[in-house]
Amino acid sequence: MIAEVSKNIFLHASQNKSLNKAAKKWGLRFGASQVVAGVTIKSAIDTVKKLNEKGLVCTLDHLGEFVSSREEAIEATEYNVRTLEAIFRAGVNSNLSVKMTQLGLDIDKEFCLDNMRRILETAKKTKNFVRIDMEDHAHCQVTLDILRELREDFDNVGTVIQAYLNRAEQDVKDLKGIPLRLVKGAYKESPEVAIQDKNEIDGNYMRIIKEHLLSGTYTAIATHDHNIIAKVKEFAKKNNISNDQFEFQMLYGFRTEMQLSLVKEEYKMRVYIPFGDDWFGYFMRRLAERPQNVAFALKGLFSK
């Protein structure tokens, strides 16, 4: 009960615009610097270099979502373009992740599409891949619509499917052939659209992982759950699925020893690295996911 109340508090805080605005002025606080790689492109690239040296590949995510003006969306688009160019210049191994609401989806779909095309053109020139991050259920269908439209011209783009959504299994089947990042899900959703029981979510997560792997499509399995990871390893070996067809993904700052262990076992291990001053919503969702993360944050706060 306490854990559920705590989760709801952090999820509510993640969508509070006043708190988010204040957080930009605070700078990285409350342990956030342990899970967010600074506020600049340079700090993010420096982090990627260090992780690459350890055999880890990366994905950079310039934090920000739910922008309300065209100016903000254009600024975010330009920032993502500069990030791709910086990745190329530095010669580091990192993809890019973007959120549609940061690029103006709530303002106008076509405007968002134009911004996304500009990012993908830069990614194509720099030989990189862009992941469209999945947001709340209200943005799910339009995100997939945009993905399908973009895939007509670009093969260097994929998206994320969240296992807790009732529609997840069918979406994975419909998206056969498109590289997907599979996650459990981190937004607060109603029982009408999402599974609420943890064990049921875990079960559905394994179902969509197996579905996508058996389809022969490249699959990114994003989880810190060692039980899920063990099951994926076993399933891949049993079904003769090459390690080249999938990768594991984890968040920057979490389970670093396990990340390095997977590299030693010759699995591809990608670290998702968020950066930027719009860090508050992301950090609150991480605190909401697991009670252990709250203790992690408090430790970071009092160690300063």
d(CA 2, CA 139): 30
For the record, the structure tokens of 23 come out as 């957080």
Q: Is the CA virtual torsion 140, 195, 97, 44 positive or negative?
A: positive
Instruction: Select from 288, 199, 301 the least CA-distant residue to 3.
Output: 288
Given the residues 61, 106, 131, 133, select the one marked as catalytic.
Answer: 133
Q: Is 93 exposed, middle or buried (0-12, 13-18, 19+ CB in 10 A)?
A: middle
Instruction: Select from 246, 251, 197 the least CA-distant residue to 225.
Output: 251
d(CA 135, CA 100): 8
d(CA 134, CA 185): 9
- Are the C-beta atoms of 64 and 102 separated by less than 8 Å? yes
Q: How many CA atoms lie within 13 A of 233 on its CB side?
A: 12
How do 246-251 and 94-99 pair as beta strands?
A: unpaired
Whether 181 is catalytic: yes
Given the residues 131, 136, 181, 285, select the one marked as catalytic.
Answer: 181
Catalytic residues: 133, 181
